[in-house]
Each structure stands twice: as structure tokens, then as C-alpha cells.
Copies of this chain bind each other. A is one copy, B any other.
Amino acid sequence: MSVTAPSGFRAAGVSAGIKADGERDVAIVINDGPSRSAAAVFTRNRVKAAPVLWSQQVVKGGRVRAVILNSGGANACTGAPGFQDTHATAERVADALQDSAGEIVVASTGLIGERLPMPELLSGVDAAVAAAARDGGLNAADAIRTTDTVAKIAFRRGPGYTIGGMAKGAGMLSPALATMLSVITTDAELTSEQCDRLLRAATSRTFERVDADGCLSTNDTVVLMAGGASGTAPDEAEFGALLTEVCDDLARQLIADAEGASKSIAVEVVGAASEDDALTVARAVARNNLFKCAMYGEDPNWGRVLGAVGTTDAEFDPARLNVAINGVWVCRQGAVGDDRAKVDLKPREVTVTVDLSAGSVAATVWTTDLTTEYVHENSAYST
């Protein structure tokens, strides 16, 4: 299924020799129209990889013919030569498709600070375009993996149209889009303005609420292409809900596969005075290393939750805070609550609920525990 679930899209994932192990490393997703409406959201990191700088310009035009992606190298912090490499990649795709480079989005993922092996990449572009087919969605999702252990795909069917998507991302996961790449396709008829509005709304409640390690990448990119092949102009609210479901599905898959994680943790803040407050508190908890270590140790150490909440400027009274871990209210009114021995932290799925007692707004951020495996994996990544 994946990005080729909607009609009018072809995709491929090929091995171009960028990755040393010979696994797939170049992916393409081609929109055969009739429409080329598109939008994208990018990392908020001010140090942006060359493909991000390029693709931001492309997307401003509101039209995208294809997205070319590579794993095995981020092409970040590579200066003007790196930007030229991205440009050359887009030109090669455009040549192969007899189209304009100005409508080709480029995305890269991998190690920062190294040039891409351009002969391999450009040959890979040719091979990917040649291989692109209606059944290529899964291979494309496979080709964008770095430390991901599984390919991440999702799709939803609406009345008369389909939305499909793929994503990658396992380390450096943080709000404002993790080190993640995602391509989402639909055969619904949408304008580029609709794409932009709907994509921003969906990502703000999904990908941007995933925070595995608080580290914001230089390459995050989420692209939505609407080809219109179904001939169906969707109800916008309904489409938005389905798009959010696809993004949510993919975001949860990212957390489930996060580097070295042994727990998938929902940090749920309730009783907040505002959504900003709820998110600020949820992120502070999700990023607290001591809390994350406690979760790894299956230790319901709610003091660390309160310690994290206290670092924020959200509206709350410390004496009215309540905390539940997997449904047991271990902290009531800022002090010891129910018996912490009742908390079962054995399952992989953990829910931590923080009740600010300051209003009626709720929000959830998804994170992981901090494990010795995470440290192992990330202390040996580039060498």
C-alpha cells in the first residue's frame, strides 16, 4: 500500500551503493497527476540540510511532480557544494521524467557533514525512475530506512479517494518533525492551499508531538502530494481527519521503532489552562532524562515527573498536581498518593498522566525511555 495506494502514483526503492551494506538507499515517488498540488513542512532547525533549502523553494510553487529521497547521507553541513549536489539530483530526476527540476522535491537522511557519493546517487536516480511502478510503495519505504528496523507505511480510504504514506525516523526524534522523512500521497482533488493548510494541521497534532530524544534534525521533511486521479473533491474536514489518522499512524510507528527504546510512553497532560501549557508540560516530562531512565528501570518514580513539571512556566499550583502512571494515581495534591507498588510497568506501552488542575485542556506527547541501548547505538553511529 504505502504511497502507491492512491491511484496516479508510482514509486520505487533501489540499491545505488550509497549504503555500504548494499541495502536499498534511493527512493522515488512520482505523481502522474492530473494535478500536482502539493505542500510540505520542514525542520525548524536553523541549520538546514541542502535538500531542505532546495525543497523549501520548490514547494513555494505549490506544485510537485516527484520526490526523490536517499538514505546513507544527510547532505547537511556540506556548504555550497552540497547544495549543488541536491540541485544536480533534482535535474537528473527532471531529465529522466522530461519535466522541470523546479517541481522535484529532494530529501536526504543519514550522517551529517559528509558529501554524498554523486555518481552512485545519480545512477540510483536513473534506476529508480526506470523501476517506478504502481506496486513500488513498499520498496520506496524500505529504501529510506537508516537505523529504522522496519519500513513504516500507512493508508486510509475516504469516500472516493485514498491517502497513503511512508515515513522513516528512529533517532533524533523531536518535535518539529524528528529526523524524519515522510511522503504522503492522495488521489483526491485539492488545491495547493488546501494541501498546505491540511498538512500543517495534521502534522502539528501528530509528528510534532513525537519526542523521542529532544534532538531536532537538520533534514526533517514531510511532503503531501495530491494528484487528483480519483476525480473526487473531498470534504475538507473529513479529509483532514483521515490525513491526521495517516500521520498519527506513521508517528506512532516511529516511536515504536525508536533507537534503543524499550518503552513507548504517552505523556498525557490534562487539566491544563491552555493547549500551549499542556504541550509545554508534556514535552518537559518527555525530555527529562531522569524520568526516561526511571521508565527504563520500570520504576514509577513520580518525583521526577513533578521535577520536570516544575521547570515549566505553565499555569499550575504545585500543591494541586496529580500524577498517574498506568492508571495508578501515585501523586495526589503534589504529595504521595496511591501505593506505587500497584503500578505495573512491565508492558511496553506506558501512559503517564499529569493533571495540572488548572483548566480543562488536554494534550499528549509520545516519547520513549532512555536505555543503555540508546546510548550504545548513538555513541557509535558515525565511526
Question: Which chain A residues have a beta carbon within 8 Å of chain B's beta carbons?
Answer: 44-48, 74, 76-79, 81-82, 111-115, 171-172, 213-218, 287-290, 293-294, 296-297, 299, 301-304, 306-312, 316, 318-319, 321, 331, 333-336, 370-372, 374-376, 378-383
B46, A379: Cβ atoms closer than 8 Å: no
Q: Per DSSP, are chain A's interface residues mostly helix, strand or loop, or mixed?
A: loop
A309, B47: Cβ atoms closer than 8 Å: yes
B294, A381: Cβ atoms closer than 8 Å: yes
A77, B336: Cβ atoms closer than 8 Å: yes
In the bound complex, residues from chain B placing their C-beta under 8 Å from that of A311 are 44-46, 216
Instruction: Select from chain B the residue with minimum beta-carbon distance to A215.
Output: B290
Chain B nearest CB from A44 CB (Å) reads 8
Chain B nearest CB from A268 CB (Å) reads 19
In the bound complex, residues from chain B placing their C-beta under 8 Å from that of A218 are 303, 306-307, 310
Question: Contacts A112-B304, A290-B172: A334 and B47 contacting too (C-beta < 8 A)?
Answer: yes
9 further interface pairs, Cβ-Cβ under 8 Å (given A46-B310, A47-B334): A77-B331, A114-B336, A172-B307, A215-B308, A290-B378, A293-B379, A294-B381, A297-B380, A372-B376
A310, B371: Cβ atoms closer than 8 Å: no
In the bound complex, residues from chain B placing their C-beta under 8 Å from that of A82 are 335
> 8 closest Cβ contacts across the A-B interface?
A112-B303, A297-B379, A47-B310, A79-B335, A293-B378, A45-B310, A372-B372, A113-B303
Question: Contacts A114-B336, A379-B294: A289 and B214 contacting too (C-beta < 8 A)?
Answer: yes
Question: Contacts A47-B318, A293-B378, A294-B379: A303 and B213 contacting too (C-beta < 8 A)?
Answer: no
Instruction: Select from chain B the residue with minimum beta-carbon distance to A76.
Output: B303
A171 to B290, CA, bound (A): 9
12 pairs from A and B in contact (CB 8 Å cutoff): A46-B311, A77-B335, A82-B335, A113-B303, A113-B335, A113-B336, A213-B290, A216-B307, A218-B303, A297-B378, A303-B382, A370-B375
| From A77, A79, A215, residue with most partner B Cβ within 10 Å | A77
Question: Contacts A299-B379, A306-B47: A293 and B113 contacting too (C-beta < 8 A)?
Answer: no
B307, A217: Cβ atoms closer than 8 Å: yes
In the bound complex, residues from chain B placing their C-beta under 8 Å from that of A334 are 47, 77, 79
